[in-house]
């Protein structure tokens, strides 16, 4: 059973940066596609970014392209989300997710089997 623990959330002013980390344990991290999702109050959980289990293939939701970067360090069993030029609309609880490696990219929660508890990101205007 894979366990995921996010960290790095907090309060930041608009235009600032944060780096989220997600540490994995209990599984073969390098065999999982990893994703970040977020959920704002009163809204559904939405896809943010994903990275393939091997290589550097990544995909992003349009609203974060050019501002967010997902990366992974398989030696440290950790996936990161570097968030720059943050906007108030980025305010949400951010969740890390892991899914068994499969062809293509997973853009919905159905593509992931394991979830972290979430970390709050608040961007003030």
Query: Per residue in 72-123, pLDDT tens?
Result: 999 999 999 999 999 999 999 999 999 998 899 999 999 999 999 999 999 9
Place of tokens 């109050």: 41
When the pLDDT of each residue in the chain is averaged and rounded to a whole number, the result is 95
Burial class (CB in 10 A: 0-12, 13-18, 19+), 122: middle
């Amino acid at each position: 059973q894979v366990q995921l623990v996010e960290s790095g959330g907090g309060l930041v002013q608009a235009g600032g940066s944060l780096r989220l980390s997600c540490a994995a344990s209990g599984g073969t991290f390098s065999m999982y596609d990893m994703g970040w999702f977020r959920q704002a109050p009163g809204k559904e959980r939405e896809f943010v970014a994903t990275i393939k289990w091997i290589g550097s293939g990544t995909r992003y939701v349009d609203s974060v392209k050019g501002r967010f970067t997902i990366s992974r360090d398989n030696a440290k069993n950790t996936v990161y989300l570097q968030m720059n030029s943050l906007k108030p609309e980025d305010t949400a609880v951010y969740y890390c997710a892991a899914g068994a490696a499969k062809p293509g990219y997973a853009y919905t929660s159905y593509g992931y089997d394991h979830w972290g508890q979430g970390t709050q990101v608040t961007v003030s205007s």
